[in-house]
Structure 1
Amino acid sequence: MRIAVTGSIATDHLMAFPGRFVDQLLPDQLEHVSLSFLVDTLQVRRGGVAANIAFGLGGLLLEPVLVGAVGPDFAEYEVWLKEHGVDTGSVYVSCEHQTARFMCMTDQDSNQIAAFYAGAMAEAGRIDLRGVHDRTPLDLVLVSPNDPGAMVRHTEQARELGIPFAADPSQQLARLTGAEVRSLVTGARWLFTNEYESALLRERAGWSHAEVLDRVGTWVTTLGAQGVRIDRKGEPALTVPAVPDVHAEDPTGVGDAFRSGFLAAVSWGLAMETAAQLGCAMSALVLATVGSQAYEIRPERLLATVRAVYGGRAAGLLAAKLGRPA
């Protein structure tokens, strides 16, 4: 399956705060917050939701097509992605802006405060999916957080071209209008959110949980340490537990890695339960490292995790696709 991953490509500036954010917030002063946090560490890493997902898919040998906008500072990052199996031939290079920046601070409870500078991402709407599809025929388009206009355009173009699409509005839900959310979701084969985003999506769209399920094929909701829930209209919810006892180094990119594993498995024709299990195993790899592309996919290690947590049958199903003995 040829998957196009549309969305943000960015450089991450990751900082660690040794305390708890909640201890710094005064309940009677929340309307006048003025805080500065002294952090212990700063890590500058490659990131962006689309690039993170493409990196994971590349590591699983899917050769994804990355579709996003970057600045002239992208050259080194592009080499890195190509070396990890990502097709960058459809990345748009801006002459006016630098590649986007994600600045994130994480406290000791893994809570995060972040800011995102769009930079070249604001030009992502100039990318025409027709040209991408002509260059390399696509089987699925994943629309992940990006410039809102680009998200709407790429969703509409996927419909026009008859290409199945997956909706992953996540971090952009706060910026999207109700009409934009409804447009992005309607007709999606897959809808990805976390638990908070699922509530925000319903609020923005003005739909109930059942009304969302009327409009999508499958709704995948990540639940952090509780794993993932998969909902389909007229069927009981399927819940898959997360990999337990993972030492959390940094949560940045965990959801992106889940999407990589999940989409890789369904592209191989495996059941959704197995897809969610691989997604959770991929998430554990990222959670245990600092940086959303600092992990290494070793099939033997990945299968060992799946076998230990989900059993031999799940590991056997995935082993054949990963080219390793069960």
Structure 2
Amino acid sequence: MHLAIAGSVATDHLQVFTGRFSDSLVPDQLDKLSVSFLVEDLDIRRGGCAANISFALAALGHRPTLVASVGTDFVEQGYRTWLEDAGVDCSLVHVSPTAHTALCTITTDDAHAQIVTFYPGAMAEARRIDVGEIHRERPIDLLLIGPDDPAGMQRHTETARSLGIPFAADPSQQLAWAGGDLIRDLVDGAAYLFSNDYEDALIQSKTGWSADDVQARVGTRVVTRGKDGVTVYPSEGPAVEVAAIPGVTSVDPTGVGDSFRAGFLAGVAAGLTLERCAQIGCTIAASVVETTGTQEYRLTREAFLGRLEGAYGEAARVEVDAALSLV
């Protein structure tokens, strides 16, 4: 199954604040907000939603096509080689001759709340990418459209609809600023809609749609809930509840949602049930949250399957073992 992953590629600057952001916020003074947080650590890592999802898919045995816009530093600093060595197809990545690859600064506090600032840089040129050309060269079975240049996200969505390419909508970080019209356009007709529980509420609030309205416009709605697991709402039938992996030592939550999406899509590509798809997603997400950085974990077949079996049972292991080709 040819999976194409459209979205951001970025360099992540990860910082840790000892304390809680909320302790420095005065609720009735937020319109005058002026705060400064002294951080103790700085870790520079490879990141970006599309790159993270592609890396995780490769770790699970796929060769996804990365659809993204980057700067020349993507090559110069070895990021392209890193992804290609992992098994990601970067042959169709757009390289801007003038702009720097996007930069994301993420500060995490003791409660795992995060403050994120994002410089788009070369990502703004994603609107120049024609998914139709990629599809004509090698037919796309499922296109994930993740957070990216807004005009690029719209173009990819419109192209997918016009060409009949099944797509997964994953607007996530772009929901905070996007208006209802844009969100409705990005979501409508998606085969899959990914969000966390906060983003799910934001989609409903900004579009004016109820949960049932959203469900009527997509195929399968997938809502992650952190340590409380995930709820999958199929187009027909009851919701599927999957618990998170127990006993996880959380180190860094950055990129956990991206890895879940990759695991879920790997299950979809293998023709597994929605329950198994979510279980694969939760299992790989546990590996990511236990490491600093979004692409620093390593999966081995036995360890991965053993962890999945410990949480979800022997039947889950047998089915996933037969379906995935991770080493």
TM-score range, shorter chain: over 0.9
Q: Partners of 1:54 and 1:298 in 2: how far apart?
A: 17
Deviates more, 1:258-267 or 1:177-186: 177-186
Amino acid at match of 2:38: L
Q: Is the 8 A contact 1:299 1:322 kept in 2?
A: no
**Does residue 139 of the first structure (1) align with residue 141 of the second (2)?**
yes
- Residues 244, 175 of structure 1: alpha-carbon distance in 2 compared, 3 angstrom cutoff: same
> Aligned residue for 1:193?
195
Deviates more, 1:74-83 or 1:20-29: 20-29
- Report SS of the residue matched to 1:97: coil
> Aligned residue for 1:66?
66
> Aligned residue for 1:123?
125
Residues 6-45 of structure 1: pairs in structure 2 closer than 5 A: 6-45=6-45
Report deviation, 1:28.
Answer: 3.9
Report deviation, 1:272.
Answer: 0.6
2:92 is aligned, of 90, 93, 118, to 90
Q: Is the 8 A contact 1:300 1:324 kept in 2?
A: no
How many residues are treated as equivalent by the alignment?
Answer: 325
- Report SS of the residue matched to 1:131: helix
> Aligned residue for 2:277?
275
Post-superposition CA distance 1:244-296 (Å, at most 9, x none): 12111000000000001000011001111001000000110000000011111
Q: Partners of 1:74 and 1:254 in 2: how far apart?
A: 22
Q: Partners of 1:68 and 1:323 in 2: how far apart?
A: 26
Report deviation, 1:42.
Answer: 0.5
Q: Partners of 2:80 and 2:49 in 1: how far apart?
A: 15
> Aligned residue for 1:258?
260
> Aligned residue for 1:4?
4
Deviates more, 1:154-163 or 1:6-15: 154-163
Amino acid at match of 1:95: P
Report deviation, 1:26.
Answer: 2.5
Report deviation, 1:161.
Answer: 1.5
1:204 is aligned, of 206, 216, 236, to 206
TM-score by length of 2: 0.97
**4+ residue runs over 4 A deviation:** none
- Residues 104, 323 of structure 1: alpha-carbon distance in 2 compared, 3 angstrom cutoff: closer
Consecutive unaligned residues of structure 2, counting only runs of 5 or more, are none
TM-score by length of 1: 0.97
Report deviation, 1:321.
Answer: 2.4
User: Matched residues, percent identical?
Assistant: 50
Amino acid at match of 1:5: I
Q: Is the 8 A contact 2:222 2:230 kept in 1?
A: yes
Post-superposition CA distance 1:113-171 (Å, at most 9, x none): 11000000011000001111123221111000001111010011011111111100111
- Report SS of the residue matched to 1:173: helix
What's the Cα RMSD here?
1.3
